[in-house]
Amino acid sequence: MAVKIRLQRHGKKNFAFFHIVVADSRAPRDGKFIEQLGSYNPNTNPATIILDGEKALAWLKVGAQPTLTARRILSYEGVMLRKHLAEGVAKGALTQAEADAKFAAWKAQRDEKIAAKKTGIKNDEIAKAKAAKAAEAQVNEARAKAIAAKKAEAEEAARKAAEEAAAAAAPAEEAAEAETPAETPAE
């Protein structure tokens, strides 16, 4: 029986997540499996991987063959490196302490990369939010200037209309005063 470490698709359309399973290679993709090793969610940034590394390493040691995607996930999590170091220890090329030190150094470096990516993503989101806020402030300022200009224009038009009405009313008052006869004092 050929045993594979592969992904089993779950989730809805265009929003899939995967279980990492050990299954017979003849079984359907989403069908029967021997053991579940973890899960992989590519929808998050960075992708979320939950993996039982000890079980995966045990299956690799007894001959389970990972698919290409599963191999990349196992490499990302360090399972393939641990298998390689374990083979080196078995051949006598290095000691278990050296292998553990190499794996610890690799894991620290990987964790730094992941932390740098997360902070980079967070900083990008903050920068985008600041840029959006600045753009919104510019738009609001432009709108406020336009409203102030319209108000000033309306006030100017109202002032001119009042002056014109006052100018038109002044000759009418003078004409009304001229039409009324001057009263003569009584004798």
| pLDDT tens profile 35-48 | 999 999 999 988 99
Q: Do residues 55 and 37 touch, judged by C-beta distance below 8 A?
A: yes
Look up residue 39 and give its two tokens.
């899960």
State the Cα–Cα distance between residues 56 and 38, nearest whole angstrom: 9
Q: Look up residue 152 and give its amino acid.
A: A
Q: What pLDDT, in 10s, does the model give residues 118-173?
A: 999 999 999 999 999 999 999 999 999 999 999 999 898 888 888 888 887 777 67
48 CB-near residues (< 8 Å, 6+ apart) = 39, 40, 41
Work out the end-to-end distance of the chain between its first and last CA atoms, rounded to an integer number of angstroms.
Answer: 143
Hey, how many other C-beta atoms are within 10 angstroms of the C-beta on 44? 9
pLDDT of residue 50: 95
Domain ranges of the chain: 3-94
pLDDT(182) > 60:
no
Extract long-range pairs of 47-55: CB within 8 Å, 24+ residues apart. 49/73, 49/76, 49/77, 51/20, 51/77, 51/79, 53/77, 53/78, 53/79, 53/82
> For residue 40, with 0-12 CB atoms within 10 Å meaning exposed, 13-18 middle and 19 or more buried, which class applies?
buried
Bond into 46 cis (ω within 30): yes
Q: What pLDDT, in 10s, does the model give residues 55-105?
A: 999 999 999 999 999 999 999 999 999 999 999 999 988 999 999 999 999
Q: What is the CATH number of domain 3-94?
A: 3.30.1320.10
Q: What is the DSSP letter of 181?
A: P
pLDDT of residue 62: 93
pLDDT of residue 178: 66
Query: For helices 68-77 and 53-61, what crossing angle results, to 10°?
Result: 130
Hey, how many other C-beta atoms are within 10 angstroms of the C-beta on 26? 10
State the Cα–Cα distance between residues 114 and 120, nearest whole angstrom: 10
